[in-house]
Chains A and B, each alone.
Chain A
Amino acid sequence: MLPLQLQGVSIAFPNPPGPPRIILRPTDLVLPAGAMVGLEGPSGAGKTSLLHALAGLEPVAGGSIRWGAENLAKLDGAARARWRRRHTGLVFQDFHLIEGLSVLDNVLLPVWFDMFRAPRALRDRARALLVGMGLPMPLPPLAVLSRGERQRVALARAVLRQPPLLLADEPTASLDAEAAAKIGSLLVDLATTSGATLIVASHDPHLLARLPIRLRIAETELERLA
């Protein structure tokens, strides 16, 4: 596992015809390997944008994001996609499962980016993850799953290939309290077990309370709370 090093990272969006809209002024940050980070801040302050930048989904305006020897900020779109595929697992507020695919196939989806057929070991791991998260067997069709169950499927998809960096964007925001607590525990447990660095953007105080490092983004500044 490697530390995540941000140096002078700034984020801005083009906003024609005006000047670019600044989301984050140049910021330095070092997160040790296996860090558990909660990212908070008012809506629209740029939590999602920062997560997307860390995942290489969107280029940064300046600075460097280093993961070991690799500088994410210097990579082009295709290389960032490759980096993302190998190093990150993403969890979204709205799960973003693919309708029309079975539950198991949704978990195995990233495998098809590289392989024609998921190897037996990965299929077994996918099933084991789902069972471990309490999904009923045999697996029901995706359409009948509750929101909490859907987020568990999305979680299994994110951790299937044991990425060293786990990024979650409001993973509990669209769930009821019970499901939110369950997902929060699963997320923290999975990261702990695998030793992955976990960064969670959230408003959920219960979830944030379980994360030792706390960051807050507001008015283009990123500050460390704890």
Chain B
Amino acid sequence: MNPFPLALAGLRHRRGTALALALLVALGVALGVGVGALERSLRQGAARAADAFPLIVGAPGSPTQLVLTAVYLQPDTVTLMPGSVLTRLAADAQAGWVSPIGFGDRWRDKPVVGVTADFVTLGGRRSLAEGRVFAAEDEAVIGTAVPLALGDPIVAAHGLAHAGVDEDDADTHHHGDSPYRVVGRLPPSGTPWDHAILVPIERVWEIHGLGNGHPEGVERIGPPWEGQVPGVPAVVVQPKDFPGAYALRARYRDAQSNAVFPAEVLVSLFRLMGDVQAVLSAMAMASAVLVLAAVFLAFSGLVAARSRDFAVLRALGAPWRFVLAAVWLELALVLLGGVAVGLGFGWLGGWMAADALGRHARVAVTVAPGWDEVLLALAVLVAGMLGALLPALVVWRRPPGEALKR
């Protein structure tokens, strides 16, 4: 038997209705798929951004704010941690390398961030895309998204959030007298740091009249800092080993400072996001169910409109499985088309939303097709195809004579 010509004839004859129904299914599926894909990719993008930050030490307070500051360069109202903690960290035997993260200036919309050379190379693990690490106070390494070339001068403007630094000037005065020169460029990381300009922390302190952290007359850069060390918003610490990481975290959780693993903070953030996602998923599911219900209502209409055709089939002696298959196939093809298109729409929508959100947060977010969404689409498809049996059975139960007599 071959019910395909008949099913296709039905679709052809009512192509407008069939198309509208398929689109309805597609929208329902796209919603569910899009929400899932978006949530997953945002989580992956956010987690990847934290890879370079094993342990962060900052002033006591919100761990989330600390992570936002150091990892995502979104210093909001960060309180400063006393410089003495930085001195202690730099001398700690269990710390591999340490780097303060100090904000102060910006160039256009790119933040100038004071760090150490170890942070630039992640203690030797990261090599630069071009050039070299800064070796003097007036040298800078730029992120991949900063539109400058090696050798270009940078005249930074004051004004990006510079938490806690007393500021008596206008918000954006030019430090025309203290330019940097670009000597290196970082490889792309897909994080807000791609937009950052990394300079020696000493220079950031000096520009704000806070000394350079070293004893009077010493003009080198990098740890140890044995002079008057200003307060810093955050310090990145690379522990020497795994037990050391926990020891450090415990040791620097006191009245003066707070130590957090960014991964840990993200997990709790994601738990919150997970709740939101559960709500979104439930809504997406509900909409999918509603769409399916609407589709079946429409299917019943479609089947009723074709009841004469089905009666003719039976009058011509079609076996029940042929009639069943023809009705079911017609509905199944509509569902299949809708689900396939919906899967594509969902991924595309998720990708576009993730891209927009990621651009906003300067985090590279890539939406890759995942099995979760395929499974969701398959679930809708299977539910729909099982449901499509109902109209098919209704057709069989109706006596054919009635429809033929008009």
Contacts and interface: CB of A to CB of B under 8 A. Distances in A.
B308 A112 contact: no
Interface of A: 48-49, 52, 55, 57-58, 77-78, 81-86, 88, 90, 92, 94, 96, 98-101, 105, 109-110, 112-117, 157
Given A96-B308, A99-B13, A100-B9, A110 B2 contact: no
Most buried by A among B13, B314, B322, B401: B401
B70 to A, nearest CB: 65
B399 interface: yes
Contacts, number: 89
B319 A90 contact: no
28 contacts: A48-B401, A49-B401, A52-B401, A57-B314, A58-B399, A81-B319, A81-B320, A82-B317, A83-B317, A84-B316, A85-B317, A86-B317, A88-B317, A90-B315, A92-B312, A96-B315, A98-B9, A98-B309, A99-B9, A100-B8, A100-B9, A100-B10, A101-B9, A113-B1, A113-B322, A114-B1, A115-B1, A116-B2
B130 to A, nearest CB: 65
A113 B317 contact: yes
A81 B312 CA distance: 12
A57 B318 contact: no
Interface in B1-59: 1-3, 5-6, 8-14
Interface string B383-404: 0000000000000000111001
Nearest to A88: B317
Residue of A85, A86, A110, A112 most packed against chain B (CB within 10 A):
A112
A81 B6 contact: no
B13 A90 contact: no
B312 A96 contact: yes
B1 to A, nearest CB: 6
Interface size classification for chain B: 20 to 34
B125 interface: no
Contacts of A96: 308, 312, 315, 404
Nearest to A106: B9
Given A57-B400, A82-B317, A117 B13 contact: no
A49 B399 CA distance: 13
A83 B71 CA distance: 78
Nearest to B405: A48
Contacts of A99: 9, 13, 309
Contact of B2 (A49, A77, A112): A112
> By CB atoms of chain A within 10 A, which of B3, B318, B406 has the most?
B318
A101 B315 CA distance: 18
A78 B404 CA distance: 19
Contacts of B322: 112-113
Given A48-B405, A113-B322, A115-B1, A55 B9 contact: no
A114 B9 CA distance: 18
